[in-house]
Amino acid sequence: MDATSQRLVDRWPVLGGQLRDALVAEGEESLAAQMETLRVVARCGCGDDFCQSFYTAPKPDGAYGPGHRNVLLDPPWSGMLILDVVDGLIAYVEVLDRDPLD
């Protein structure tokens, strides 16, 4: 199986747990429930050394549009963890300034 089509919790189990915990702490239980099935479909590709972000849905052609919201989470590291959520589904996970994904 291609590494970019694996479930998030299989590819990076520690990050998956951290993301689930951060979502529960933020009161986003419906998003936390997506962790078991959430798949990594593509890495960000920006080339910035501080970015380990990835798509969990196909990259949009332009802006996400209606039904999009950002969810800023409090990660257990000094960087940032921001989700793009479209129509209630996690579409992109922005992971900044974190040790290598695990």
For the entire predicted model, the pTM comes to 0.91
- Is the pLDDT assigned to residue 3 strictly greater than 60? no
Q: Are 31 and 38 a contacting pair, CB within 8 Å?
A: no
Residue 55 CA, chain-centre distance (Å), reads 7
- Longest CA span, the chain: 33
Supply the Cα-derived Rg of the chain in whole angstroms: 13
In this prediction, residues 1-24 reach a mean pLDDT of 86
Give the pLDDT of residue 4. Answer: 53
**pLDDT band per the 50, 70, 90 thresholds, residue 1:** very low
Share of the chain above pLDDT 70, in %: 96
**Domain assignments of the chain as residue spans, ordered by start:** 3-96
Secondary element (H or E) of residue 14:
helix 13-25
Contacts of 66 (CB under 8 A, 6+ apart): none
